[in-house]
Chain A
Amino acid sequence: MGGGCGQVPDLLEFSLTLRLGDFVLNAAEKIPLTGITALSGPSGSGKTTLLRAIAGLEPTVEGHVYFAGERWSGLDAGSRKIGYVFQDARLFPHLDVTENLRYGAVRRGVGPDRVDAIVKALDLRPLLRRMPTTLSGGEMQRVALGRALASGPRILLMDEPLAGLDQARKAGLMPYISRAVSEFGVPALYVSHSVEELAFLADRILRIRDGELDGWSETAPRLVGQVVQVRGNCLELAIGGVSVQVKGRGRPGETWALLLGNEYLVSTNPPGKSNAALSLQARVIEAVGENGHYVVDVEGQRVTLPWKDDERRVLPEHTALWLSIPRVLARPV
């Protein structure tokens, strides 16, 4: 995978045209193959169609797709080494969870060690003997994510995997998705129009409107947490295992984003006694890439930070960091 020191990440490059009745999709872009790229737009904008075209599921599409320089157009979906997570999970109802997980693994020669690692990372062990019809919506999507990962994909294509789920299940599943991407090093293209999902998961956002790409929007560095307590104008946010007091009006259970702004400080030494309002432990998971960004893990969340010139050296992967924020700003998402 790309993303090492100064290394140029591989690209997913496409230029696609597809006509479906009155709808025309016309999209060309280069997407870096690291982290989670969100594809976002209103319903009917063509985001799912674009994802299906990249996957090879739209036989009438014209144009080309290159994955890291390798020509994909002309290959059928099965030969593209993708992992596709459908909005409706599409688990095979005649196979139990284990057999579903193994379906792609067996066909692509993925070893049982990897399948075991996925079972562990996604907490699937208690579900292994169950039939898909006995699973809840959230469990189904977790198995579908595991099944896609177990087929040894080079990219995960996810089509609104959380759309049918209630707030609590969504919040429960999102950390699994970001964990799957960072732990197994598989880049993802994630279709969603949910602000909450984009805030939590996206490393970058590509917008689509009326079948045409509408440019990139940068995600501001942020952490996402759940409101656990409300006291007047003060909220207590749980961000992973850390609890943070922020100002604002809200209700318990809501998802809030803690904005890092651009006044945060990164250091490799413990902050000790400082005047920062909040210090959080972090770890580098992707060193500086072509676009001058690096990715750190804070309480299980991926945070993409721009490389600042006054930072003297590039921090290698796994470096432990402290992230200090002078002021705590948060807003509901």
Chain B
Amino acid sequence: MSLWSSVWLTLQLAGVTTVILVVISIPLAWWLAGTASRIKPAVEALTAMPLVLPPTVLGFYLLILMSPASPVGAFWVTLTGESLTFSFSGLVIASVFYSLPFAVQPLQGAFQSVGRGMMEAAATLGASRWDAFRSVALPLSRRGVLTAAVLSFAHTVGEFGVVLMVGGNIPGQTRLISIEIYSAVETLDYASAHLLSGGLLVFSFIVLTIVYRMNGRGVWAGA
């Protein structure tokens, strides 16, 4: 049934996107938290752009970038034999861009609150920078990492404009929950629209409650 294939596809997309986002956001957020570089504000602004741009704008540029006519899109075709546009890989790339601020910002905040003092203490005790990051900064930021992962996942589940632009509406390949709902409403299949919309509503509420509970507990409670 097409409903469940769209649910399954959405979960796959959100899962893959979350893993990629956490991996690339940790070094990026760490750099942003510690740097006094002049390009920092520009990098922060770039990272935050998906928060303010209409998803269609982001989707439009990504579509152009990924099309086989562009150098990036053409390179992908020679590499894999498939086009990035209207494919699952294309959706993953678009989702990574779209959800980037939801991963970077909680991580950056968590890293900043660890502070330079803890890193200095670790350094005077013989820890290398990487060792101090791994043994002090990362464990002290674990709530930030969890928040980043949960928000990235939830935000990817809820995206519509960008994925519609980049992926289109191919059942089983690019038709995600949000697009399925749109199609259902267009064909006056309100029962399916209710089922999926209600599901997303409950899902979002639960996820956000978890995030707020995680961050609302005292800083070291339950450590």
Interface residues of A (CB under 8 A from B): 55-57, 76-79, 81-84, 86, 88, 90, 92-94, 103-104, 107-108, 131, 133, 147-148, 151
Residue of B118, B121, B135 with most chain A CB atoms under a 10 A cut-off:
B121
Q: Is B124 an interface residue (CB 8 A)?
A: yes
Q: Nearest-CB distance from A115 to chain B (Å)?
A: 13
Flag if B220 contacts A151 (CB, 8 Å).
Answer: no
Flag if A90 contacts B118 (CB, 8 Å).
Answer: yes
Residue of B120, B125, B128, B131 with most chain A CB atoms under a 10 A cut-off:
B125
In-complex Cβ contact of B223 among A55, A104, A131 (8 A): A131
Flag if B123 contacts A57 (CB, 8 Å).
Answer: yes
- Contacts A92-B140, A107-B125, A131-B220 known; list 16 others, CB within 8 Å: A55-B124, A56-B123, A57-B120, A57-B124, A77-B123, A78-B124, A78-B126, A81-B126, A84-B121, A86-B117, A94-B139, A103-B127, A108-B125, A147-B125, A148-B125, A151-B126
> How far, in angstroms, from A86 to B116 measured CA to CA in the complex?
13
* Residues from chain A with Cβ under 8 Å of B124 in the complex: 55, 57, 77-78, 82-84, 104, 148, 151
Bitwise, B93-131 to A at CB < 8 A (1) or not (0) is: 000000000000000000000000110111111111001
Q: Is B48 an interface residue (CB 8 A)?
A: no
Interface of chain B, helix or strand or loop or mixed? helix
Flag if A88 contacts B120 (CB, 8 Å).
Answer: no
* Residues from chain B with Cβ under 8 Å of A82 in the complex: 124
Q: Nearest-CB distance from B136 to chain A (Å)?
A: 6
Bitwise, B49-68 to A at CB < 8 A (1) or not (0) is: 00000000000000000000
8 contacts between A and B (CB under 8 A): A78-B124, A84-B124, A90-B120, A90-B121, A104-B125, A107-B131, A133-B220, A151-B124
Known A93-B220, A131-B223; judge A107-B127 contact (CB<8 A).
yes
* Residues from chain B with Cβ under 8 Å of A133 in the complex: 220
* Residues from chain A with Cβ under 8 Å of B220 in the complex: 93-94, 131, 133
Flag if A94 contacts B121 (CB, 8 Å).
Answer: no
Flag if B117 contacts A88 (CB, 8 Å).
Answer: yes
Q: Nearest-CB distance from B175 to chain A (Å)?
A: 44
Flag if B140 contacts A103 (CB, 8 Å).
Answer: no
Known A57-B120, A107-B131; judge A93-B126 contact (CB<8 A).
no
Q: Across the interface, name the chain B residue whose C-beta is closest to A104.
A: B125
* Residues from chain B with Cβ under 8 Å of A92 in the complex: 118, 121-122, 136, 140
* Residues from chain A with Cβ under 8 Å of B126 in the complex: 78-79, 81, 104, 107-108, 151
Q: Nearest-CB distance from B35 to chain A (Å)?
A: 14
> How far, in angstroms, from A133 to B221 measured CA to CA in the complex?
10
Flag if A94 contacts B223 (CB, 8 Å).
Answer: yes
Q: Across the interface, name the chain A residue whose C-beta is closest to B219.
A: A93
Flag if A103 contacts B122 (CB, 8 Å).
Answer: yes
Question: B126-162: which have CB < 8 Å to A?
Answer: 126-128, 131, 135-136, 139-140
> How far, in angstroms, from A83 to B126 measured CA to CA in the complex?
9
Q: Across the interface, name the chain A residue whose C-beta is closest to B139.
A: A94
> How far, in angstroms, from A81 to B123 measured CA to CA in the complex?
10
Residue of B122, B124, B220 with most chain A CB atoms under a 10 A cut-off:
B124
Q: Nearest-CB distance from B123 to chain A (Å)?
A: 4
Flag if B125 contacts A76 (CB, 8 Å).
Answer: no
* Residues from chain A with Cβ under 8 Å of B117 in the complex: 86, 88, 90
Q: Nearest-CB distance from B7 to chain A (Å)?
A: 38
> How far, in angstroms, from A81 to B128 measured CA to CA in the complex?
13
> How far, in angstroms, from A131 to B223 measured CA to CA in the complex?
9
Q: Nearest-CB distance from A207 to chain B (Å)?
A: 25
Flag if A151 contacts B125 (CB, 8 Å).
Answer: yes
Flag if B140 contacts A93 (CB, 8 Å).
Answer: yes
* Residues from chain B with Cβ under 8 Å of A148 in the complex: 124-125
Flag if B123 contacts A76 (CB, 8 Å).
Answer: yes
Flag if B128 contacts A78 (CB, 8 Å).
Answer: yes
* Residues from chain A with Cβ under 8 Å of B128 in the complex: 78
> How far, in angstroms, from A39 to B118 measured CA to CA in the complex?
24
> How far, in angstroms, from A319 to B223 measured CA to CA in the complex?
51
Q: Nearest-CB distance from B113 to chain A (Å)?
A: 11
Q: Nearest-CB distance from B137 to chain A (Å)?
A: 10
* Residues from chain B with Cβ under 8 Å of A151 in the complex: 124-126
